[in-house]
Amino acid sequence: MLKKVEVPNFYNTEIRSIWFSYIDYRDYMQNLDKKEFTKKAKDIVTNIYNLKFNTIYVHAVSFTDAFYESKIYPKTQILPNVEYDPLEIFINEAHKKGIRVEAWINPMRSIKTEEVNNLNDDFIVKKWINENKPYIKMVNDRYYLNPAYKEVKDLIVSVVDEITSNYKVDGIHMDDYFYPENADESFDSEVLCTGCDVAEFRKNNVNEMVSLINQSVKKKNLIFGISPSGNMEYSINTIYGDFNMWVDTGIVDYLIPQIYWGYDHPTKPYLKTLEEWKNVVLDSDVKLIVGLAGYKIGVEDSYAGDGKDEWINNSDILSKQYMDAVNMSCHGVSIFAYNSLFFPKEELKSHVENEINSLKTNLK
- Summarize pLDDT for 251-270 with one digit per residue, the tens: 999 999 999 999 999 999 99
pLDDT of 290: 98
Bridging pattern class, strands 109-112 and 142-145: antiparallel
CA–CA separation, 320 vs 310, rounded Å?
13
DSSP-derived 3-state class of residue 138: strand
Which pTM does this prediction carry? Answer: 0.97
Q: By three-state DSSP, how is residue 56 classified?
A: strand
Looking at residue 128, its pLDDT comes to 98
Q: What is the pLDDT of residue 4?
A: 63
Asked if residues 314 and 260 have their Cβ atoms less than 8 Å apart, the reply is no
Quote the Cα angle for 163-292-255, to 5°: 50
Q: Which ranges of the chain have pLDDT less than 70?
A: 1-4
What pLDDT, on a 0 to 100 scale, did the predictor assign at position 3? 58
pLDDT the model gives residue 1: 41
* HSE-CB of 312 using CA atoms within 13 angstroms: 10
